[in-house]
Chain A
Amino acid sequence: MVLYPLLNSLFLCFSRFLALRVPAMRRARASPAIECSFSVSRYFPGRTGEHLTDNKEDVRVFHLEQQLQVLTMDKSEKTEVVLLACGSFNPITNMHLRLFELAKDYLNGTGKYRVIKGIISPVGDAYKKKGLIPAHHRIIMAELATKSSNWVEVDTWESLQKEWTETVKVLRHHQEKLEAGNCDHRQNSPVVERSGRKRKCLEERQDSSQKKSLEPKTKGVPEVKLLCGADLLESFGVPNLWKSEDITRIVADYGLICVTRDGSDAQKFIYESDVLWKHQSNIHLVNEWIHNDISSTKIRRALRRGQSIRYLVPDLVQEYIEKHDLYSSESEDRNVGVVLAPLQRNTAEAKS
């Protein structure tokens, strides 16, 4: 039919037209740009796209545009997510890396989210956990481990802080970074920008983040969510390990993705906590079908006993550990007798 090529071209042009409306950053991640001429008048001589008549063919084109709109909107309505994993990573193991893969598949599979990045944030030495070796080694191992990943990366901000930093602050730091980055992108987008708009954008962001906000996040900015195993979720119950206000902020403002083998225990834990129960829509439990027990503690124990850790950690990590002889009875004795930083801080604050 003669009309088919016309419809086809119109299809392409409208999709490009709609795509330009979406913030530049998201557009960059959309499906490959369809190259076509933007000018509609080329295909409807003497007529612009908006002025559709009651002509049957135009009506068909109009419906097509609606469908296109739905398709494109569907994609742009997905919330972009950045997964943040905090922990000792002492050392990083295949299990840590699996958490990211499982969480990403799960969130993408809901159809509501699109996971765009994973961040590994090793804790600073000031955490004072028993057996915690210096951060620079843990960072390097995490970087070696994520070398082969095209979406998970390591961030050193937390480990570079002089004092131990609460997890909620790390979440906040990364969320603000994303929002500032989003302002940059909007600055650079071809949509009309006036000077000073970036400053205004950043001010808006800072205003909203400084409020203990119940306001919805500004659209178009990816959301940072805390990725963890069931052990972290259940550690919420350890006295003085977490500030209750922090737990509230984490589940209310950010969200939790908890990968667990035993979903029922985690569900019970959520049920028994008023705060977690209230924000349960923001807590995602992901099932881990594989009985995976690769804890860093066991890795360190195996190393002390001269046992192989091959295939439990990435090869590059295993080689690095071996080369630098990182874990021994001596290293395991680090911080023995020292109180864990959060316990220290929260107990002191409770007393004051």
Chain B
Amino acid sequence: MKSRIPVVLLACGSFNPITYMHLRLFEVARDHLHQTGMYQVTQGIISPVNDDYGKKDLVASQHRVAMARLALQTSDWIRVDPWESEQPQWMETVKVLRHHHSQLLRSPPPMEGSDPGQEPSAPTAAPQLKLLCGADILRTFQTPNLWEDAHIQEIVEKFGLVCVSRVGHDPKGYILDSPILRRYQHNIHLAREPVQNEISATYVRRALSQGQSVKYLLPDPVIAYIRDQGLYTKDSSWQATGTQKGQ
């Protein structure tokens, strides 16, 4: 049996806070890649963005990492990696990919889904690291000055993209509109989420600040953490600076 190419999925983003929709990206992407018969997804990595990114309402990365960790407690293949958030400043996505790729080459990941009783067949190929994102990110490639062309090329040429569909986006269209993306479209996997569930973190933050329930949109332990730490309340703009406030 031809052995499948091992793949690790990396998702970069604010995760402010992490929601079930983020977690779904991984599940949908894994199903899609497995369906092709060519890949075996072995690991998922969530990499919350550095505080330096400066996005509005971004709470301190220590919180965003902690929340992701709580959300992933029950996952046996996805983990959070704080490396990007711990760097002295914000860095381009391609650099995060490069870092994690070199880490992977250094220590091969455990094989997910492999039968322990089975004899190892051909030596497994080196794992491929792919950037996991929603279709909206694909569109941002078109935004002037947001991404460097060389970086876009490196992402789709050297790594690869797994892009999960979102309502109101036409990923095929974005690919055709861009010469770089068109050239490497074989390395861009468009996964369709069969069950649309557009839980935007913006909505979650707003609901929290208005004292409304966000239960069933994100895991209970994350909700408890948000409550205990007093995050995303009406007057928590100080949170973005990362200072700790006494209860």
Could you list which residues of chain A lie within 8 angstroms of chain B, going by C-beta atoms?
94, 97-98, 101-102, 104-105, 148-149, 289-295, 298-299, 301-302, 306-312, 314-315
Contacts and interface: CB of A to CB of B under 8 A. Distances in A.
B196 interface: yes
B12 interface: no
Interface in B190-232: 194-200, 203, 212-217, 220
B194 A311 contact: no
Nearest to B168: A291
Nearest to A299: B195
Nearest to B74: A315
A295 B197 CA distance: 10
Interface string B164-204: 00010000000000000000000000000011111110010
Interface in B12-38: 20-21, 23-24, 27-28, 30-31
A101 B200 CA distance: 17
Contact of B195 (A101, A289, A312): A312
6 contacts: A94-B20, A94-B216, A101-B214, A105-B213, A298-B194, A312-B195
A311 B213 contact: no
Interface in B64-78: 74
Interface residues of B, number: 25
Nearest to A310: B27
Given A299-B195, A301-B194, A307-B31, 8 more contacts: A101-B214, A105-B213, A148-B220, A149-B215, A290-B203, A292-B197, A293-B196, A309-B195
Contact of A290 (B24, B74, B199, B213): B199
B7 to A, nearest CB: 16
Interface of B: 20-21, 23-24, 27-28, 30-31, 74, 167, 194-200, 203, 212-217, 220
A60 B91 CA distance: 65
- Report the 6 A-B pairs with minimum CB-CB distance, sorted nearest first: A101-B213, A291-B198, A293-B196, A308-B27, A311-B20, A94-B216
B167 A308 contact: no
Select the residue from A293, A307, A310, A311 with max chain B CB neighbours within 10 A: A311
Contact of B197 (A101, A104, A294, A315): A294
A97 B215 contact: yes
Contacts of A289: 203
Contacts of A301: 194
A312 B197 contact: yes
A232 B28 CA distance: 29
Nearest to B19: A311
Contacts of B203: 289-290
B197 A97 contact: no
A307 B24 contact: no
Given A104-B213, A105-B212, A310-B23, A290 B195 contact: no
Contacts of A97: 215-216
B213 A308 contact: no
Contacts of B23: 310-311
A290 B27 contact: no
